[in-house]
Amino acid sequence: MNWKSCFAARAVALTLACCAFIPVAYAQAVPKTIRLVVAYPTGGVSDVVARALADKLAAQLGSTVVVENKAGASGTIGMDAVAKAAPDGATLGFAAISPLVLNPHLGRSPFDPLKDIAPVASVMYSPVLLLATEATGTRDFRTLMEDARARPGAVRWATSGQASLGHIVLEQLRSAARVDITHVPYRGGAQQMNDALGAQFEILSINAGPSVAPHIRSGKLRPLAVGAPDRLQSLPKVPTLAELGFPSANLSSLFGVFAPGNTPAILIAKYNAEINKALASPELRARLLATDNVPTGGGAEEFADEIEAEYESNARIVKAAGIKAE
Read off the CATH number of the domain in which 218 is found: 3.40.190.10
Residue 82: per-residue pLDDT: 99
Q: pLDDT digits over 171-202, tens only?
A: 988 988 899 999 999 987 789 999 999 999 99
Instruction: Establish if 234 belongs to a structural domain.
Output: no
| Residue at 184 is within a domain | yes
pTM of the model: 0.87
Backbone φ/ψ region at 161: left (φ over 0), alpha (ψ -120 to 50), beta: left
In a domain, 314, yes or no: yes
pLDDT of 6: 58
Same domain, 45 and 100: yes
The reply to whether 134 and 122 lie within a common domain is: no
51 and 91 inside one domain: yes
119, 138: one domain: no
Q: Which of 240, 247, 237, 228 is nearest to 289 (CA)?
A: 228
Instruction: Convert 74-100 into a string of H (helix), E (strand) and C (coil).
Output: HHHHHHHHHHCCCCCCCEEEEEECHHH
Looking at residue 263, which CATH number applies to its domain?
Answer: 3.40.190.150
What integer pLDDT is reported at residue 134 of this predicted model?
A: 94
Range of the domain at 261: 3-126+253-321
163 and 142: one domain? yes
- Looking at the fold, whether 217 and 157 belong to one and the same domain comes out as yes
Q: Which residues have a Cβ under 8 Å from the Cβ of 97 and sit 6 or more positions away?
A: 253, 254, 255, 256, 306, 307, 310
Residue 244, in any domain of the structure: no
pLDDT confidence of residue 74: 84
Below-70 pLDDT ranges, the chain: 1-28, 250
Note whether 122 and 139 are same-domain residues: no
For residue 184, the cross-strand partners are 158
241 inside domain: no
